[in-house]
Chains A and B, each alone.
Chain A
Amino acid sequence: MDVVEMDHVSKRYVLGQRLNAREALHAAARRLISTRSSPGPDIWALRDVSFSVSDGQALGIVGRNGAGKSTVLKILAGITTPTAGVSRTRGRVAGLLEVGTGFHPELTGRENIYFNGAILGMSRSDITRRFNQIVEFSGVERFLDTPVKRYSSGMYLRLAFAVAAHLEPDVLVVDEILAVGDAEFQRKCLGRMQEAEGEGRTLIFVSHDLDALSKLCPQSIWLESGRIRDAGATEAIVRDYLTSALSSRESGGPVYKSDAVTVHDIRVLSADGQEGSALMRGDRLRIETVFDVAEDIPGLDLAVLVTSSGGVRVIDEMLSDRSSMRLSPGRYRVSLALPPMLNVGGYTAGVWFGTSYENLFDLPTATPFTLHGSDLERPERVLVLNLPFAVDRLDAAPSPHRDSVGGP
Chain B
Amino acid sequence: MLSGNGSPGLKSNSAGTRTPVWLSLWQARDLVAFFALRDLRLRYKQAALGVAWVLLQPIATVAIFTVVFGRLAGISSEGVPYPLFALLGFSVWTYFSSATVRASEVLVHNPALVSKVYFPRIAAPTGAVLPQLVDLAVSLAMVGLLLIYYELAPSWRLLAVPVWLTLLILTAFGPAVLLSALNVRYRDVQHAIGPVMQIWFFASPIAYPSTLFSGHGELLYALNPMVGVIGLARWSVLNTPWPGWPLAVSVGMVGVMLVCGVSYFRRSERTFADVI
**Segment among A78-86, A240-248, A337-345 that sits at the interface with chain B:** A78-86
Is A333 interfacial (CB-CB < 8 Å)? Answer: no
A21-B30 contact given A79-B118, A86-B12, A88-B10, CB 8 Å threshold: no
Q: Which residues of B contact A111 (CB under 8 A)?
A: 38, 41
Report whether A88 and B118 are in contact in the complex, using a CB–CB cutoff of 8 Å.
no
Report whether B15 and A82 are in contact in the complex, using a CB–CB cutoff of 8 Å.
yes
- List the B residue with the shortest CB-CB distance to A84: B15
Is A24 interfacial (CB-CB < 8 Å)? Answer: yes
For B118, give its contact among A77, A86, A91, A115 (CB under 8 Å): A77
Shortest beta-carbon distance from A82 to chain B in Å = 6
Is A399 interfacial (CB-CB < 8 Å)? Answer: no
A20-B15 contact given A104-B38, A119-B119, CB 8 Å threshold: no
Report whether A101 and B112 are in contact in the complex, using a CB–CB cutoff of 8 Å.
yes
Shortest beta-carbon distance from B1 to chain A in Å = 8
A19 to B30, CA, bound (A): 34
Report whether B15 and A78 are in contact in the complex, using a CB–CB cutoff of 8 Å.
no
Report whether A86 and B30 are in contact in the complex, using a CB–CB cutoff of 8 Å.
no
A170 to B8, CA, bound (A): 14
Report whether B11 and A107 are in contact in the complex, using a CB–CB cutoff of 8 Å.
no
Report whether B30 and A118 are in contact in the complex, using a CB–CB cutoff of 8 Å.
yes
- List the B residue with the shortest CB-CB distance to A82: B14
Is B61 interfacial (CB-CB < 8 Å)? Answer: no
Is A188 interfacial (CB-CB < 8 Å)? Answer: no
Report whether A83 and B116 are in contact in the complex, using a CB–CB cutoff of 8 Å.
no
Report whether B15 and A89 are in contact in the complex, using a CB–CB cutoff of 8 Å.
no
Report whether A98 and B14 are in contact in the complex, using a CB–CB cutoff of 8 Å.
no
For B30, give its contact among A76, A98, A123 (CB under 8 Å): A123
Shortest beta-carbon distance from A98 to chain B in Å = 4
For A87, give its contact among B12, B112, B113, B187 (CB under 8 Å): B12
Q: Which residues of A contact B151 (CB under 8 A)?
A: none
Is B134 interfacial (CB-CB < 8 Å)? Answer: no
Is A189 interfacial (CB-CB < 8 Å)? Answer: no
For B34, give its contact among A78, A89, A97, A114 (CB under 8 Å): A114
Report whether A119 and B271 are in contact in the complex, using a CB–CB cutoff of 8 Å.
no
Shortest beta-carbon distance from B268 to chain A in Å = 11
A354 to B105, CA, bound (A): 42
A101-B38 contact given A83-B15, A90-B11, CB 8 Å threshold: no
Q: Which residues of A contact B274 (CB under 8 A)?
A: 13, 17, 80
A98 to B11, CA, bound (A): 22
Interface residues of A in 115-145 (CB under 8 A from B): 115, 118-121, 123-124
> Is the interface on chain A under 10, 10 to 19, 20 to 34, or 35 or more residues?
35 or more
Interface residues of B in 43-76 (CB under 8 A from A): 45-46
A87 to B4, CA, bound (A): 12
Q: Which residues of B contact A20 (CB under 8 A)?
A: 186-188
Report whether B13 and A75 are in contact in the complex, using a CB–CB cutoff of 8 Å.
yes
Q: Which residues of A contact B45 (CB under 8 A)?
A: 106
Task: Give a binary string over B109-143; 1 marks a CB under 8 Å from any A CB, 0 the rest.
Answer: 01011111111000000000000000000000000
Report whether B38 and A115 are in contact in the complex, using a CB–CB cutoff of 8 Å.
yes
A124 to B34, CA, bound (A): 9
Is A95 interfacial (CB-CB < 8 Å)? Answer: yes
For B113, give its contact among A13, A74, A102, A124 (CB under 8 Å): A102
- List the A residue with the shortest CB-CB distance to B14: A86
Shortest beta-carbon distance from A355 to chain B in Å = 37
Report whether B11 and A119 are in contact in the complex, using a CB–CB cutoff of 8 Å.
no
Interface residues of B in 1-33 (CB under 8 A from A): 4, 9-15, 17, 30-31, 33
A88 to B4, CA, bound (A): 10
Q: Which residues of B contact A24 (CB under 8 A)?
A: 185-186
A80 to B4, CA, bound (A): 17
Shortest beta-carbon distance from A176 to chain B in Å = 12
- List the A residue with the shortest CB-CB distance to B15: A81
Report whether A106 and B113 are in contact in the complex, using a CB–CB cutoff of 8 Å.
no
Shortest beta-carbon distance from B5 to chain A in Å = 9
Is A18 interfacial (CB-CB < 8 Å)? Answer: yes
Interface residues of A in 5-36 (CB under 8 A from B): 13, 17-21, 24
Report whether B13 and A86 are in contact in the complex, using a CB–CB cutoff of 8 Å.
yes
Is A371 interfacial (CB-CB < 8 Å)? Answer: no
Is A228 interfacial (CB-CB < 8 Å)? Answer: no
Report whether A89 and B11 are in contact in the complex, using a CB–CB cutoff of 8 Å.
yes
For A98, give its contact among B13, B116, B119, B270 (CB under 8 Å): B116
For A101, give its contact among B13, B42, B113 (CB under 8 Å): B113
Is A93 interfacial (CB-CB < 8 Å)? Answer: yes
For A21, give its contact among B31, B37, B186, B273 (CB under 8 Å): B186
A77 to B33, CA, bound (A): 23
Q: Which residues of B contact A88 (CB under 8 A)?
A: 4, 10-13
Chain B residues close to A by CB (< 8 Å): 4, 9-15, 17, 30-31, 33-34, 37-38, 41-42, 45-46, 110, 112-119, 185-188, 270-271, 273-275
Query: Can you report 26 residue pairs joining A to B where beta carbons are below 8 Å apart?
Result: A13-B274, A20-B188, A24-B186, A79-B118, A80-B270, A80-B271, A80-B273, A80-B274, A81-B14, A81-B15, A81-B271, A82-B14, A84-B15, A86-B13, A89-B11, A95-B117, A97-B116, A97-B117, A101-B116, A101-B117, A102-B113, A115-B34, A115-B37, A118-B34, A119-B34, A123-B30
Known pairs A83-B15, A115-B34; list 7 more (Cβ under 8 Å): A18-B275, A24-B186, A75-B13, A80-B271, A106-B41, A118-B34, A119-B117
Give the 10 A-B CB pairs with smallest separation, nearest first. Answer: A86-B14, A78-B118, A118-B34, A81-B270, A80-B273, A98-B116, A97-B116, A87-B13, A101-B116, A21-B188
